[in-house]
């Protein structure tokens, strides 16, 4: 027997009310769960942010320790590159130092990019790094394609780049940069970190550069900027040891400026100093990087040529002689422009001598013979030279 319609309707309404209450209750439970989940995500996010912050603090601490630990310029530069990766996750990083005399930046170190794809030198004011130095401000470009700035250091332009000048006590040391192949928007915190790394790096680089300068002064003749007498002997002994170990040859060129005392007496010592400085420049321009060039004393100079036989050494000496002969110097009213000449003696290990002192003596004897034969010439050492009486000819 079927229930009356009224009872059915009341039952249906009752079920709907009950179902609504259950749905409301389930919805409230779901919202509570959502709130819990949201809080958990916030806690997890906070935890991740804290982890990232701790990692950043650790990297900054380690970077500070490493920078304070070394005075070697190459090691400092490498440490700075590592710091940019560890703290900022830099895809590409690069360090340029300033040459104040030429007013240009030169590449010192890079990471994440082959140095051959970077310009070796940049004029101050040129491109993003150059403008960062000239303005003294951090420059950040999120999207180079939409920027008016031109990136001149890369042979293949990245999408994003940031540069910070390295300045300490108003002294500009260079610039530090990071770049990405894809667009990267650095946050305010990341830009602050880059600025902080720039400040830390400038302090470390100043110490390293100062130490390098002190080391240079200890081995360099201040007037000519060549090696001094003492350091030359040390370097020559190192090269001779290497030549003995590997069965190589090594040549030595002794050089003396002709009639230098007379030049000083006629035109004065300040102009004589200019002649010595020019001699140093001529030597640097006419030898290889592996060659050892020094001011031996007074107006005497010496060049050690590793892996160079007597014939080739004679050619190098002749090239130096001709180059110096073409130089002109300021004289006086009677002689406004003056030329100087040099005499050169060449000796070779192991043909002429096997010990350092003997090799120098052989080259010196050949130099004496060059002067005796009329100066302004190159003479190779021969065993018959040993009978020559050694004394100075001005």
What is 229-387's CATH superfamily? Reverse transcriptase/Diguanylate cyclase domain (3.30.70.270)
According to CATH, where is 3.30.70.270 located in the chain? Answer: 229-387
Instruction: Report which of residues 381 and 19 the model is more confident about.
Output: 381
Top-confidence range, 119-128, 281-290, 323-332:
281-290
Helix, strand, or coil (residue 138) = coil
Q: How far is residue 117's CA from residue 134's CA, in Å, rounded to a whole number? A: 24
User: What's the whole-model pTM score?
Assistant: 0.60
Pairing between strand 300-306 and 378-380? Answer: unpaired
State the DSSP string of 218-257.
HHB-TTT-SB-HHHHHHHHHHHHHHHHHHT--EEEEEEEE
How confident is the model at residue 321, as a pLDDT?
A: 97
299 belongs to the catalytic site: yes
Least confident of 26-35, 83-92, 108-117, 152-161: 26-35
In Å, what is the CA distance from 355 to each residue of 226, 360, 361? 24, 9, 10
How confident is the model at residue 388, as a pLDDT?
A: 47
CB 274 within 8 A of CB 310: no
Among 122, 129, 132, 52, CA closest to 87? 52
What pLDDT, in 10s, does the model give residues 268-312? Answer: 999 999 999 999 999 999 999 999 999 999 999 999 999 999 999
Neighbouring C-beta atoms of residue 392, cutoff 10 Å: 10
How confident is the model at residue 392, as a pLDDT?
A: 42
How confident is the model at residue 390, as a pLDDT?
A: 43
Of 299, 311, 325, 327, the active-site residue reads 299
CATH of domain 69-217: 3.30.450.40
Among 358, 352, 378, CA closest to 367? 378
pLDDT band at 393 (very low <50, low <70, confident <90, very high): very low
Q: How far is residue 235's CA from residue 304's CA, in Å, rounded to a whole number? A: 9
Instruction: Report which of residues 55 and 318 the model is more confident about.
Output: 318
The tokens 């200890």 sit on which residue? 218
Summary mean pLDDT of the chain = 84
Check pLDDT > 90 for residue 323.
yes
137 φ, ψ (degrees, to nearest 5): -125, 155
Least confident of 50-54, 64-68, 206-210, 231-235: 50-54
How confident is the model at residue 6, as a pLDDT?
A: 64
Q: How far apart are the first and last CA of the chain?
A: 145
Check pLDDT > 60 for residue 366.
yes
How confident is the model at residue 252, as a pLDDT?
A: 98
According to CATH, where is 3.30.450.40 located in the chain? Answer: 69-217
Q: What is the mean pLDDT of residues 40-47?
A: 59
Retrieve residue 300's tokens.
């005497």
What pLDDT, in 10s, does the model give residues 175-185? Answer: 999 998 888 88
CB 250 within 8 A of CB 348: yes
pLDDT band at 391 (very low <50, low <70, confident <90, very high): very low
Write the Ramachandran bin of 214: left for phi over 0, alpha for psi from -120 to 50, otherwise beta.
alpha
Retrieve residue 18's tokens.
């009950």
């Amino acid at each position: 027997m079927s229930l009356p319609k009224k009872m059915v309707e009341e039952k249906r309404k009752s079920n709907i009310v009950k179902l609504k209450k259950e749905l409301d209750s389930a919805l409230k439970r779901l919202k509570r769960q959502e709130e819990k989940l949201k809080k958990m995500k916030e806690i997890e996010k906070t935890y991740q942010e804290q982890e990232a912050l701790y990692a950043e603090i650790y990297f900054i601490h380690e970077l500070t320790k490493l920078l304070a630990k070394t005075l070697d310029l190459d090691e400092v530069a490498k440490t700075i590159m590592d710091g940019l990766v560890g703290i900022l996750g830099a895809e590409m990083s690069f360090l340029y130092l300033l040459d104040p005399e030429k007013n240009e930046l030169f590449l010192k170190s890079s990471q994440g990019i082959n140095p051959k794809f970077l310009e070796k030198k940049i004029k101050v004011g040129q491109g993003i790094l150059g403008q960062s130095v000239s303005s003294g401000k951090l420059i950040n470009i999120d999207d180079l394609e939409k920027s008016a700035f031109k990136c001149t250091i890369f042979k293949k332009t990245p999408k994003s780049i940031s540069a910070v000048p390295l300045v300490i006590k108003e002294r500009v040391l260079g610039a530090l940069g990071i770049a990405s192949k894809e667009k990267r928007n650095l946050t305010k915190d990341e830009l602050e970190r880059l600025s902080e790394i720039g400040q830390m790096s400038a302090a470390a680089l100043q110490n390293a550069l100062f130490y390098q300068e002190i080391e240079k002064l200890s081995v360099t003749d201040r007037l000519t900027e060549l090696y001094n007498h003492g350091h030359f002997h040390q370097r020559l002994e190192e090269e001779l040891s290497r030549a003995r170990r590997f069965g190589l040859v090594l040549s030595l060129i002794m050089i003396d400026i002709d009639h230098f005392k007379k030049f000083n007496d006629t035109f004065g010592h300040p102009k004589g100093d200019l002649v010595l400085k020019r001699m140093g420049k001529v030597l640097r321009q006419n030898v290889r990087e592996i060659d050892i060039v020094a001011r031996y004393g007074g107006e005497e100079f010496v060049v050690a040529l590793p892996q160079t036989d007597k014939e080739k050494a004679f050619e190098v000496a002749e090239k130096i002689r001709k180059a110096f002969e073409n130089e002109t110097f300021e004289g006086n009213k009677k002689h406004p422009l003056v030329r100087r000449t040099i005499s050169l003696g060449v000796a070779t290990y192991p043909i002429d001598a096997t010990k350092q002192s003997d090799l120098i003596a052989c080259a010196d004897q050949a130099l004496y013979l060059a002067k005796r034969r009329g100066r302004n010439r190159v003479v190779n050492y021969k065993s018959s030279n040993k009978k020559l009486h050694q004394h100075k000819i001005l």
